Amino acid sequence: MSDAPSNSPSLAASAKIPVTVLTGYLGAGKTTLLNRILTENHGRRYAVIVNEFGEIGIDNDLVVGADEEVFEMNNGCVCCTVRGDLIRIMDGLVKRRGKFDAIIVETTGLADPAPVAQTFFVDQDVGEAARLDAVVTVADAKWLTDRLRDAPEARNQIAFADVILLNKSDLVSGEDLDRVEGEIRVINPFAQIHRTRNCAVPLDAVLERNAFDLGRILDLEPAFLEEGHHHHHDSEIQSVSARIDGAVNPEKFMPWISTLTQVQGPDILRCKGIVAFPDEPKRFVFQGVHMILDGDLQADWRADEPRVSRVVFIGRNLDAEAIRAGFEDCRA
């Protein structure tokens, strides 16, 4: 993780191929959303990577849009054993850049999104040519509560999401929708939530949002990392946020965040933050997946913007008091 803008010859972020990871538990509506993306008249060309669980793939036949590039990764969730397939396909697509505008990876409903997200950090060639634009999770409003209880994958999909479609909203009451959305907020306080029927949502709400690029996170979610979220400590997945009204000392912050993620990385599903350094006009923005961290200096602090340093961690077995104390010790 660097604390200065990169001077490497890799592509600028704006020139990298945007990749949207589409996830969600079985039956939530991922293929419905994908078909909507591929059939609407938007003038964009998408390469699609479909991951299935099982030796015989059928999702490829369910995806419409004959003009699109569709690649299958069969016989397993996208995890460490299948990540090689993802890297291989991405490498092939990179060589054909110019024939499509963006890439969509649709994971199996039983997949944990973490290994997909990690691919864009751990593989140098993929990371230099493509950028993870957003993790979009489709959730079934009628059955999500049950899945959060009995399916760890469903909880991980919610925790990793940058954008969530609370789908099939017409099948439950407004009161139940509010309750389910509250359950989502306990797990993930910063994802954008759209209530949908048949995944009907403006495509610019889910595609090419730069949602995984925290340089725009405040535009996407004004309440990002704000205090005041109430978390149920008996929940398997929790979020811990902390803020400092002012700058942090980079010589303290960098070792702290690195040590924290290395020691507790297996339990940290996602972490994000925007912090101020003394006498530095740009925001330092970081994000992480488990033990993998990435960060650099991004947009300038606006003249009318308070220089507030904020971090959030989503995971299991997190010691909220220790995290907040450690962050406070980094105060400049």
- 197-206 pLDDT, tens digit each: 999 999 888 9
Grouping H, G, I as helix, E, B as strand and the rest as coil, residue 154 is helix
Structure token digits, residue 112: 């944990």
CA-to-CA distance for 323 and 325, rounded, in angstroms?
5
Pairing of strands 17-23, 69-73: unpaired
**Helical (H) or strand (E) element with 17:** strand 17-23
pTM (predicted TM-score): 0.66
Pairing of strands 238-244, 309-315: antiparallel
- What pLDDT is stored for residue 145 in this prediction? 92
The DSSP letter of residue 302 is: P
Contact partners, residue 22, CB within 8 Å, separation at least 6: 30, 33, 34, 104, 105, 106, 107, 136, 138
Q: Cβ-count burial of 74 within 10 angstroms (0-12 exposed, 13-18 middle, 19+ buried)?
A: middle
Instruction: Give the tens place of pLDDT for each residue, 114-169.
Output: 777 777 777 788 888 888 888 999 999 998 998 888 888 888 899 888 899 999 99
Contact partners, residue 238, CB within 8 Å, separation at least 6: 186, 187, 231, 232, 314, 315, 316, 318, 320
- What pLDDT is stored for residue 82 in this prediction? 53
Local mean pLDDT, 10-residue blocks, the chain (332 residues):
40 74 87 84 80 39 40 38 71 80 81 75 81 91 89 86 93 94 88 93 86 52 42 57 93 95 85 91 84 82 89 86 96 94
- What pLDDT is stored for residue 12 in this prediction? 52
Domains of the chain plus CATH, in order, are 17-213 (3.40.50.300), 237-330 (3.30.1220.10)
- What pLDDT is stored for residue 44 in this prediction? 82
- What pLDDT is stored for residue 231 in this prediction? 33
Query: Taking Cα atoms as reference points, which of 177, 174, 146, 149 lies closest to residue 164?
Result: 177
Query: Taking Cα atoms as reference points, which of 87, 89, 34 lies closest to residue 63?
Result: 34
* 272 DSSP β-pair partners: 287, 312
Q: Do 104 and 132 form a contact (C-beta atoms < 8 A)?
A: no
> In which residue are the tokens 């595609």 written?
207
